[in-house]
Structure 1
Amino acid sequence: MKYKMIVLDMDDTLLTSDNEILPSTKEALLKAQQLGVKVVLASGRPTGGMMDAALQLQLDKFDSFIISYNGAAIYDMANARFVEKTYVDSTQFKEIVAFLRNENIMALSYKDNKIYYEGTSEYEHVEGELTGLEMVKTTDLLKMIQTDVPKVMGVGNIDHISKLNNKLNGKFGEQIHATTSKPFFLEFMNKDVSKGKVLARFLQHLNINTEEIIAFGDSNNDKDMLEVVGLGVAMGNATDTIKSVADIITLDHNEDGIYKIIDEYIINKHK
Structure 2
Amino acid sequence: MKKEIELVAMDIDGTILGKNKTLSERTKTVFQKAAEKGIHLVVASGRAVQAVPEEIRRLQGVEYVISSNGSSIFRLSDGQRIYEKDLTSDQIDALLAFYDGYSCPIEVFIQGHPYTSEAYYHEPEKFGADSLAAEYVRTTRCPVADIRQFIQKHKKEIEGVNFIVYDPELKKEMRSHLESFGGLYVTSSVPRYIEISHGDVCKRNALIWLNGFLGIPREHTVAFGDGENDLEMIQYAGIGVAMGNGTDGLKAAADVIARPCDEDGVARLLEEMLEI
TM-score (norm 1): 0.88
The yes-or-no answer on 1:159 pairing with 2:168 is yes
Between the aligned partners of 2:95 and 2:263, the Cα distance in structure 1 is 38
In the aligned structure 1, how far is the partner of 2:134 from the partner of 2:87? 19
Deviation of 1:134 after TM superposition, in Å, equals 3.3
SS of 2:99 mapped into structure 1: helix
Q: Is 1:227 aligned with 2:235?
A: yes
Indicate conservation of the 8 Å contact 1:161/1:186, yes or no. no
Contact 1:8 1:215 in 2 (8 A): yes
Report the counterpart of residue 105 of structure 1 in structure 2. Answer: 104
2: CA distance, partners of 1:88 / 1:75 = 17
Judge conservation of contact 1:87–1:150 (CA < 8 Å) in 2: yes
Q: Among the aligned pairs, what percent are the same residue? A: 25
SS at match of 1:181: coil
- 1:129 corresponds to which of 107, 116, 136: 136
CA distance in 2, matches of 1:164, 1:100: 13
Q: Say if 2:147 is the partner of 1:141.
A: yes
Farther-moved stretch of structure 1 (122-131 vs 224-233): 122-131
Superposed displacement of residue 43, structure 1? 0.3
Residue 162 of structure 1 deviates from its aligned partner by: 5.2
Larger mean CA deviation between 31-40 and 113-122 belongs to 113-122
Deviant stretches of 4+, over 6 Å:
none
Structure 1's 161 and 57: CA in aligned 2 closer, same or farther, altered over 3 A? farther
SS of residue matched to 1:102: coil
Gaps of 5+ in 1: none
Uncovered stretches (5+) of structure 2, i.e. residues with no partner: 121-125
Q: Distance in 2 between matches of 1:17 and 1:109?
A: 25
Whether the aligned pair in 1 keeps the contact of 2:16 and 2:264 (CA below 8 Å) is: no
Amino acid aligned to 2:166: N
Q: How does 1:79-228 map to 2 (within 5 A)?
A: 79-111=78-110, 113-117=113-117, 122-123=127-128, 126=133, 129=136, 132-138=139-145, 140-145=146-151, 146-147=153-154, 148-157=157-166, 159-160=168-169, 163-164=172-173, 167=176, 171=179, 173-228=181-236
Whether contact under 8 Å (2:224, 2:240) holds in the other structure is yes
Q: Residue 254 of structure 1: SS of its match in structure 2?
A: helix
Q: 1:208 to 1:20 in 2, by over 3 A?
A: same
Structure 1 match to 2:20: 18
Matches of 1:106 and 1:167, distance apart in 2: 18
- In structure 2, the CA distance between the partners of 1:208 and 1:267, relative to structure 1 (3 Å rule), is same
The structure showing larger relative contact order (alpha-carbon pairs under 8 Å, at least 6 residues apart) is 2
- Contact in 1 for aligned 2:16/2:261 (Cα 8 Å): yes
Equivalent pairs counted in the alignment come to 263
Cα deviation, 1:191-234, whole Å, max 9, x if unaligned, reads 11100111112211111111111111011000000000011111
